[in-house]
Structure 1
Amino acid sequence: MRQKAAAAPYILWMIIFILVPLALVVMYAVTTPDGQFTISYISQVGEYAPVLVRSVWLAFVATVICLVLAFPLAFIISRRSSNSQRTMIMLVMLPMWMNFLLCTYAWMTILEKNGLINRFLANFGIGPLEMINTQGAVVLGMVYNYLPFMLLPIYSVMTKISNSVIEAAQDLGANWVGVLGKVLIPLSIPGISTGVIMVFVPSVSTFVISRMLGGGGNLLIGDLIDLQFLGNAYNPNLGAAISLVLMVLILLCMSITNQFGGEDMEGVIK
C-alpha cells in the first residue's frame, strides 16, 4: 500500500506530461480544425517522404560515426586509472555543460566562408570551401552534440569488463581482432544498443542543428514539424500527423534495436 502511495506522484506526472500530450497529438492528427474525424492529414505525410528519408539517413550516418568514435574511446577510458577516468569523462561531458545553441553557433563561426577553417586554408591558397549549409555540416553538428550520449553507455559497460577476460581470450590464441569481435563487442551490446537509441532518436527529430548548419536546402523532419506549428503555414493538425508518424518510426527502430541487443546477449550467455 505504501509503495502505491509513493508511486502516485510519478504516475500523476506521467499522466499529465506524457499521456495527455500524446493523446493531444493523436487527437489533432486524426481530426479536422472543426473536430471531424479524418485521416487526410496522415495520408499527406507521404508527400514529405523525401524529407523523412533524408532525416533517417543523416541520423543513421551520425549514429554510425558516433559509434565508431565512441567505442575505442570508451575502451581507452575504461582501461585507465580511476582518477584518469573521472578526468577524461569530465572532458567528454564539458561541452554538454554549455548551451546547445551556443555550441551550434560556434560551429557556424568555424564552418562559414569567412570562418576559422577557411581563413586557415587561405594561407595555403586553398578555398574558400563550401562547408556551411551542407549535409556534412548537419552530420558534424549531430556528432558533436550527441557523441557523449553514445560514449557514456558504452563506457559504463566497458568498465565492467575485467582485464582478465581479455587476457584469457589472448591466452587462448585470440588476436586483437578476435578479442574485439568475440569479447568486447558482444559484452558491450547493452551499452551500444542504448547509445544507438540515445543518438538516433534526437538526431532524426532535430531541427535546430539542421536549421543553423544545414540552411534551407537541408530541411529535416523536425524542421517540417516546427514550420507547421510556428511557421507561416500554421497547420497544427498536419504537424501532429507528421509527429505521430515520426513517433511510430522511432518506436519501431527502438524495438528492432532492443530485440537485436537481446538476441546478441543471449548468444553470449550461451
Structure 2
Amino acid sequence: MKRKGNWLLLAPIYLFTILFVALPILYMFLLSFLSRAEVWGVDFTFTLDNYKRILEPLYLNTFVESLKLAFLSTGLIVLIGYPYGYFMARMNAVWKKRMMLLLMIPFWTSALIRLYGWIIVFRSNGVLDKVLMGLHITDEPLKLLYTYPAVVVGMIYALLPFMILSVYSSAEKLDFTLVEAARDLGASSFRAFWTVSFKLTLPGLLSGVVLSFIPSMGLFFIADILGGNKIVLVGSMIQEQATKGRNLPFAAALAAVLMILTSLMIRLYRRITGAEQLEGLL
C-alpha cells in the first residue's frame, strides 16, 4: 500500500517529464531527419542532408562565432560574478539581504524592457556618450550600439545574476574558520584562498559557468536588439529557419546539434564536480 502511494505521488512528475521534455526532444530529433516539403510542411522522407548542411561554411562559422561569444561572455561573467558572490557571502546578515535585493530587483521588470534600456545607454549621444564627453574622455559620440561589445555587455547583464547566486550559495556554506586555520599554519592570503576557499566553492563556480555558458549560445534576442542583426547566433539561425525560411527539419537539426553541445557541457561539469567530490572524500 505504501509503494502504491509513493507511485501516485511520483506519477505527476513522470507524466510531466514525458509530455513536456521527452516527447518534444524525441519529436525534434525525428523531425531533423525529415525533408522540407516544396510548399509548406514536412516531407516524410528520411535524409541526412540537414546535418550535412550544418557543415557548410556559413552555418559552421555561426556555431564557431556563437561558441566564441559564449566563452568570452562566460569568462567575463566569472571574473565579475565570482568575487561578487564570494564577498557577498562574507557580509553580515543585513548587507546580505541588501545585496540580494539589488540582484532581485531587475527581475521584477521584463528582460526585453531592460535590454531596451541598454539601447538608451549605448546609442549615439546617449547616457554613456554624455558621461564620457562630460569627463573629457572622448571628444565625439561613440558608435557602441549594434556592435559586438554591446552584445557582450547584454549577455553579461542578463546572465551575471546566475553566476553570483551560484557562487554565493556555495560560499555561504564555506566554513571560514578553515581559511583562518590555514593562515595560522603559515599560508599566505592567496595560498589560503586558493587551497581552501576556491576549491570548496568550485562546485558553485562550475554551476554558474554552466548556467551562463549554455543560455549564451541561444539568447538570440540579445544579439538582435543590441547587435542590430549584425551578430548572428545559433539561436537566431534556428528562429530564422523555423519562421522566415519555413524549414522546420533544418531548424530541428540545428537545435539538435546545439542540444548535444550543451549536453556535453553539462556532462563535463558533472565529471569535474564528481572528481572534486571524490578527491574531497579521499
TM-score, reference length from structure 1: 0.95
1:31 matches 2:38: no
Deviations 1:167-219 (A, max 9, x none): 00111111121122111111011111111111111111111101111122211
Matched, 1:62 2:73: yes
The 8 Å contact of residues 96 and 145 in structure 1, kept in 2 or not, is answered as: no
- The match for 2:275 is 263
Where in structure 2 are the equivalents of 1:85-164 lying within 5 Å?
85-123=96-134, 124=136, 125-164=138-177
Kept in 1, the 8 Å contact 2:50–2:250? The answer is yes
Provide the C-alpha distance between the structure 1 equivalents of 2:178 and 2:140, rounded to a whole number of angstroms. Answer: 50
Partner of 1:172: 185
Q: 1:191, 1:162 → 2: CA distance?
A: 15
Q: Distance between the aligned counterparts of 1:186 and 1:121, measured in 2? A: 40
Q: Is the 8 A contact 1:193 1:258 kept in 2?
A: no
Structure 1 contact 189–265 (Cα < 8 Å) conserved: no
Unaligned runs of 5+ in 1: none
Q: 1:249 aligns with which of 247, 251, 261?
A: 261
CA offset at residue 245 of structure 1?
0.4
Deviation at 1:12? 0.9
Are the counterparts in 2 of residues 29 and 240 from structure 1 also a CA contact under 8 Å? yes
Q: Give the SS at the match of 2:230.
A: helix
Provide the rounded CA distance (Å) in 1 between the counterparts of 2:106 and 2:73: 18
Shift of 1:127: 2.8
Say how many residue pairs are matched: 269
In structure 2, the residue matched to 1:71 is 82
Alignment deviations for residues 4-51 of structure 1 (CA, whole Å, 9 cap, x no partner): 110111111111111111111111100112101111001111121111
Equivalent AA in structure 2 for residue 2 of structure 1: G
Contact 1:153 1:191 in 2 (8 A): yes
Q: Deviation at 1:262?
A: 2.0
Counterpart amino acid of 1:243? A
CA distance in 2, matches of 1:11, 1:226: 30
2:17 maps to 14
**How much does 1:72 deviate?**
1.1
One of 218, 223, 227 as aligned partner of 2:236? 223
C-alpha contact 2:63 2:234 (8 A) present in aligned 1: yes
Q: Measure the CA separation in 1 of the matches of 2:154 and 2:260.
A: 25
Aligned partner of residue 43 in structure 1, secondary structure = helix
SS of the residue corresponding to residue 43 of structure 2 reads coil
Q: What is the deviation of 1:221?
A: 0.6
Deviation at 1:237, TM superposition (A): 0.9
Moved more, 253-262 or 221-230: 253-262
| Counterpart check, 1:40 vs 2:43 | no
TM-score of the two chains, using structure 2 as the length reference: 0.92
Question: Offset of 1:56 from its aligned partner?
Answer: 1.0
Q: Which moved more, 1:68-77 or 1:242-251?
A: 68-77
Between stretches 123-132 and 58-67, larger displacement belongs to: 123-132
Q: Is 1:2 paired with 2:5?
A: yes
RMSD between aligned residues = 1.3
2:250 equivalent in structure 1:
238
Deviations 1:117-155 (A, max 9, x none): 113333435232121112211111011111110111110
- Could you tell me how far apart the structure 2 residues matched to 1:52 and 1:246 are? 9
Moved over 4 A (4+): none
AA aligned opposite 1:92: L
CA contact under 8 A between 2:179 and 2:193: conserved in structure 1?
no
